[in-house]
């Protein structure tokens, strides 16, 4: 059996399946034939975790620590977590594993692209939180937010994708909004649900989930 050094923490069903599918697609493009990406999946009870999100808390720390402890016992070196918001809690938990961290990896990509100002598209909480903005600002990256009306719409898109109730009209409006903002400044997607149905082939949209996935595939290669 092929040994792997990558573990994935299973969270929301649609976002986790999205990550697994994308990992296999990216890996298969390199390896060919019927190759699938080698990893270990540790599924969580996401209902318990999701009820405590988005705010960090000692209760959430305790629940995530129990899963991290299980991963600590595995013979792997890297951990992929398919939920951007949850990394604020992961940052608070000690682990010897290397976290494929979406914020650190995205900052690296932004610097490679020589971007100084970016727009955030995420959950209403993430767009208004200081967690991502402070990390970007500390690296000389200015963060611009969509209008209040647009933030509420983006959050509605997130909710509809999560519940799998999105319509074609909703997605078309979402894509149009992304295009309009990306013409002014590059857009950073910091919510996995928004990544699932993002438009393709727009070099001015940088997806945190995609950055994680690309790094994971390069690592397992």
Q: State whether 144 and 204 are in the same domain.
A: yes
Neighbouring residues of 30: CB distance < 8 A, sequence distance ≥ 6? 217, 221
Amino acid 219: pLDDT: 86
Neighbouring residues of 218: CB distance < 8 A, sequence distance ≥ 6? none
> How many domains is the chain built from?
2
Domain-located, residue 12:
yes
Q: State whether 215 and 165 are in the same domain.
A: no
Domain-located, residue 1:
no
Q: State whether 113 and 204 are in the same domain.
A: yes
- C-alpha 42/C-alpha 9 separation (Å) is 5
Q: State whether 151 and 95 are in the same domain.
A: no
Q: State whether 108 and 83 are in the same domain.
A: no
DSSP state of 210: H
- 100, 78 contact by CB (below 8 A): yes
- Per the listing, tokens 């992961």 go with 90
Structure tokens belonging to residue 156 = 């509605």
Q: State whether 112 and 190 are in the same domain.
A: yes
Domain span at residue 32 reads 6-101+211-220
Q: State whether 202 and 109 are in the same domain.
A: yes
Q: State whether 30 and 118 are in the same domain.
A: no
Q: State whether 31 and 97 are in the same domain.
A: yes
- 31, 89 contact by CB (below 8 A): no
Q: State whether 96 and 116 are in the same domain.
A: no
Residue 217, class by beta-carbon neighbours within 10 Å (0-12 exposed, 13-18 middle, 19+ buried)?
buried
Instruction: Tell me the CATH number at 17.
Output: 3.40.50.1860
**pLDDT tens sequence for the chain (221 residues):** 467 899 999 999 999 999 999 999 999 999 888 889 999 999 999 999 999 999 999 999 999 999 999 999 999 999 999 999 999 999 999 899 999 999 999 999 999 999 999 999 999 999 999 999 999 999 999 999 999 999 999 999 999 999 999 999 999 999 999 999 999 999 999 999 999 999 998 999 999 999 999 999 988 87
Query: How many residues are recorded in the chain?
Result: 221
Q: How far is CA 20 from the centre of its chain?
A: 13
H or E stretch covering 144 = strand 142-144
Q: State whether 25 and 53 are in the same domain.
A: yes
- 217, 26 contact by CB (below 8 A): yes
Amino acid 2: pLDDT: 61
Q: State whether 197 and 129 are in the same domain.
A: yes
Q: How many CB atoms lie within 10 A of CB 143?
A: 18
């Amino acid at each position: 059996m092929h040994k792997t050094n990558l573990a994935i923490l299973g969270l929301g069903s649609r976002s986790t399946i999205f990550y697994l599918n994308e990992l296999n697609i990216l890996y298969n493009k390199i390896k060919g034939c019927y190759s699938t990406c080698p990893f270990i999946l540790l599924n969580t009870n996401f209902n318990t975790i999701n009820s405590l999100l988005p705010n960090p808390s000692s209760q959430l720390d305790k629940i995530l620590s129990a899963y991290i402890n299980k991963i600590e016992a595995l013979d792997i070196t890297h951990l992929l977590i398919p939920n951007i918001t949850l990394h604020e809690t992961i940052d608070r938990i000690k682990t010897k594993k290397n976290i494929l961290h979406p914020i650190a990896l995205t900052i690296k990509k932004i610097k490679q692209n020589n971007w100084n100002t970016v727009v955030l598209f995420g959950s209403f909480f993430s767009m208004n939180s200081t967690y991502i903005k402070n990390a970007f600002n500390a690296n000389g990256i200015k963060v611009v937010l969509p209008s209040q009306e647009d933030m509420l719409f983006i959050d509605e898109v997130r909710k509809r994708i999560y519940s799998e109730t999105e319509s074609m009209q909703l997605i078309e409006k979402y894509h149009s909004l992304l295009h309009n903002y990306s013409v002014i400044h590059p857009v950073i997607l910091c919510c996995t649900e928004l990544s699932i149905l993002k438009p393709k082939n727009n070099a001015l949209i940088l997806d945190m989930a995609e950055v994680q996935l690309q790094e994971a595939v390069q690592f397992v290669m």
